[in-house]
Chains A and B, each alone.
Chain A
Amino acid sequence: MPDTLLFAMEAAVNGLAAGVMYALVALGFVLIFKASGIFNFSQGVMALFAALTLVGLQTGQIPFSHLINAIFGTRLHHFGFTLPTVVAIIGTVAVMVAFAWLVERYIFRHLVNQEPIILFMATIGLAYFLEGLGDIMWGAEVKRMDVGIPQGMSETVDDLTFAWFGYGFFVDTLEIWAAVIAGLLVIGLVIFSQYTKQGRALRAVADDHQAALSVGISLRFIWVLVWSLAGIVALVAGIMWGAKSGVQFSLSLIALKALPVLILGGFTSIPGAIVGGLIIGVGEKLFDFFMQPIVGSATENWFAYMLALVFLLFRPQGLFGEKIIERV
């Protein structure tokens, strides 16, 4: 096989892996948009906040120590003990659920029936607030995310592809794990929404919240539920991206990678988020591979958006989005 083809295949495989990472972030957006029509801009910051909380709990950091030290002149840093990863993850989930409850109680309860753009703005305000809170709570230095997921080149893939093609493909073990976890997450979400009472209520609200209200489903509970789920998805995304490049402020910018995935897949479709992520991942890696000598590097930032834009011109509701019906 010619080398170029092999290299292109390697780029495509890596694109798939990158696509999974994008899809992880996009999933959180879809959940909230589906259930409440809110375009949750703070999803990226939620991932950062969840990751910071996880690392903070793991290493036994004292929250707000910086603030406390500044006010009382103390020198607090750590509790002096560390938590096992599982306990820390459970703790973080609890924090994210509490966060969901607070968000519903103090923000979105007051914004029911507002226009989508107002709700969107509210999530931007929330993103700002959460960003400052995360920094004050846990400090702004880079932290290492270590939950025991292996990282580095996958030997198996390397050996296998070498045996087949005579050229070992590079795939990051972390990303294989990310794909597995994303798969489990989607299966879990599907089982939850198809076979549990709360899940059915969730779908009912997504379909028609007026009708859902009239059969006695508590909208407030559903909103807390869906924000909690989005918080958990954010935690998973935060763990994966944090393991890739450390936990720090830049983690919140991954939200920008999820937006083109969303428009490609449709705002309301969970499979759409996955497929959209894969298309974008493969597309941008292949574009870079073939076009890099001509147009230069660092095209990834805009290519995903351009692809989504071109795509939208033909299918304005996204790949799996519901058909837009307009009435006057």
Chain B
Amino acid sequence: MIYREAGDFKTSYAADNQTFPIRGDRIAYYMVLAFAFLVMPFVINDYWANAIVLPFLIYAIAALGLNILIGYCGQLSLGSGAFMAVGAYATFKLTTAFPGLSIVFVVLLAGLVTAGVGVLFGLPSLRIKGFYLAVATLAAQFFLIWLFTQQPWFYNNSPTGMISMPTREFLGMPVTGPRASAVNMYLLCLVFVVALAWLARNLTRGTLGRRWMAIRDMDIAAEIIGVNPMMAKLSAFAVSSFFIGVAGALFFAVYLGAAEASEAFGIEKSFIILFMVIIGGLGSILGSFIGAFFLIVGPVLLKLLLVDQLGWSTDLAAHLEIMIIGALILLFLITEPHGITALWRTIKEKLRLWPFPH
């Protein structure tokens, strides 16, 4: 009744091609945005901002980036953790070398640096595919982390190899370091998330996105119809790495404050981002958000339920948590192999026809 396209007439191509062709979606989208910008900053408490919402937003950016690579261009990568590390270390080097540079520029530059590194490690994709490529990207993962822990230049010769983020201000308010308030950090990340999600959505439905999808669906056929596979694959690596680099920069600068490559950006990071993409749904912007939500907020909710509500010992709860996450991944794959968004899509299809399905 409420959610349907009947009566929602399009009178121009522009209207027909808009991101949310259905009015219900459009309204929901603007309401979420309004809520996130206008209501959340006033109601959010420190624990929720720092422990849950910040990592959710940052991982959502990383998942968006990886989704572009895997979901849209079909190139399997397990190097996301290392690309996040590139973003983080680039931020650290840039902000300590040029303390006056605005943090927003630093983060964007860090993203660009990561894009460059991503293209470099994307080169093997021109020759190898599938799981072979996945394992090849692991070379990036291990090599880059080794570089960051072993070469003192990257951590400014600090005796322990830890990098720490000094306080930086944006528009006169501290957004990194201990003095930054939760709301400032939240807003900074939110702006990045919205801007990058908008960028991703529009890139993927433009020429570039169509090229990527052609490569994903059948690379040889795509080449025959005139898609340059080198440009398509490398641009996917570049854009994807840019997103992941920005996520890494925010992760280090805003969320963690101090980091060490092998510990904060290890192989588990690569896997968890991959899980987000697959659980959320390959080739879906919304899916990246849902996947990040599921894997970041899910464990915290489980912990709150098992430890704080049921009073179980933390180790038992932690072990059960791993089991439950594993079981849920299996359950999702068995019931809906194409991720939660596919489930959501089915629901939407039903909604459009409800209550008269015939």
| A residues apposed to B, CB below 8 Å | 39, 66-67, 70, 107, 110-111, 114-118, 120-122, 124-133, 135-136, 140, 256, 259-260, 262-263, 267, 295-296, 298-299, 301-302, 305-306, 308-309, 312-313, 316-318, 326, 328
Contact = CB atoms under 8 A, between A and B. Distances in A.
Nearest to A301: B142
A125 B329 contact: yes
A118 B150 CA distance: 36
A308 B330 contact: no
Contacts of B321: 132
A302 B139 contact: yes
Contacts, number: 132
B334 A296 contact: no
Contact of A135 (B138, B319, B329, B333): B319
A132 B323 contact: yes
Given A114-B337, A302-B139, A308-B136, A121 B124 contact: no
A123 B333 CA distance: 11
B171 interface: no
A318 B334 contact: no
B326 A128 contact: yes
A117 B76 contact: yes
Contacts of B128: 312-313, 316
Contact of A107 (B131, B267, B278, B330): B330
Given A125-B333, A305-B139, A116 B131 contact: yes
Given A122-B329, A131-B326, 9 more contacts: A121-B275, A125-B325, A126-B330, A129-B322, A132-B319, A136-B320, A263-B132, A305-B138, A328-B221
- Of B76, B128, B323, B330, which is in contact with the most chain A CB atoms at under 10 Å from its CB? B330
Nearest to A312: B128
Contact of B334 (A111, A295, A298): A111
- Of B138, B220, B312, which is in contact with the most chain A CB atoms at under 10 Å from its CB? B138
A120 B150 CA distance: 32
Contact of B327 (A121, A129, A302): A129
Contacts of B143: 302, 305-306
B127 interface: yes
A121 B333 contact: yes
A296 B319 contact: no
Given A114-B337, A136-B323, A302-B143, A260 B330 contact: no
Contacts of B326: 125-132
Given A132-B321, A140-B315, A262 B330 contact: no
B14 interface: no
B129 A316 contact: yes
Return the 7 tightest CB-CB contacts between A and B, nearest first.
Answer: A128-B326, A129-B326, A125-B329, A132-B323, A305-B139, A302-B142, A132-B322
Contacts of B325: 125, 128
Interface string B321-358: 11111111110011001000000000000000000000
- Of B220, B316, B333, which is in contact with the most chain A CB atoms at under 10 Å from its CB? B333
B146 A298 contact: yes
A267 to B, nearest CB: 7
B312 A70 contact: yes
A196 B136 CA distance: 37
A66 B271 CA distance: 29
Interface string B48-60: 0000000000000
Interface of B: 76, 124, 127-132, 135-136, 138-139, 141-143, 145-146, 150, 218, 220-221, 224, 267, 271, 275, 278, 282, 312-313, 315-316, 319-330, 333-334, 337
Contacts of B150: 295-296, 298
A301 B130 contact: no
- Of B278, B328, B337, which is in contact with the most chain A CB atoms at under 10 Å from its CB? B337
A304 B164 CA distance: 31
B146 A111 contact: no
Contact of B218 (A124, A301, A312, A328): A328
Nearest to B149: A298
A326 B316 CA distance: 49
A306 B323 contact: no
Contacts of B334: 107, 110-111, 122
Contact of A116 (B130, B141, B224, B312): B130
Nearest to B338: A118
A118 B329 CA distance: 10
B296 to A, nearest CB: 16
A309 B124 contact: yes
Given A126-B330, A313-B124, A316-B127, A132 B320 contact: yes
A122 B267 CA distance: 18
Given A136-B316, A312-B127, A312-B128, A125 B330 contact: yes
B9 to A, nearest CB: 39
B135 A131 contact: no
A77 to B, nearest CB: 16
B93 to A, nearest CB: 20
B333 A302 contact: no
Contacts of A126: 326, 330
A67 B316 contact: yes
- Of B282, B326, B329, B337, which is in contact with the most chain A CB atoms at under 10 Å from its CB? B326
Contacts of A70: 312-313, 316
Contacts of B323: 128-129, 132-133, 136
Contacts of A114: 333, 337
Contacts of B132: 263, 312, 316-318
A262 B135 contact: yes
Contacts of B218: 328
A132 B127 CA distance: 38
Contacts of B221: 328
A320 to B, nearest CB: 14
A66 B317 CA distance: 12
Nearest to B221: A328
Contacts of A328: 218, 220-221, 224
Contacts of B320: 132, 136
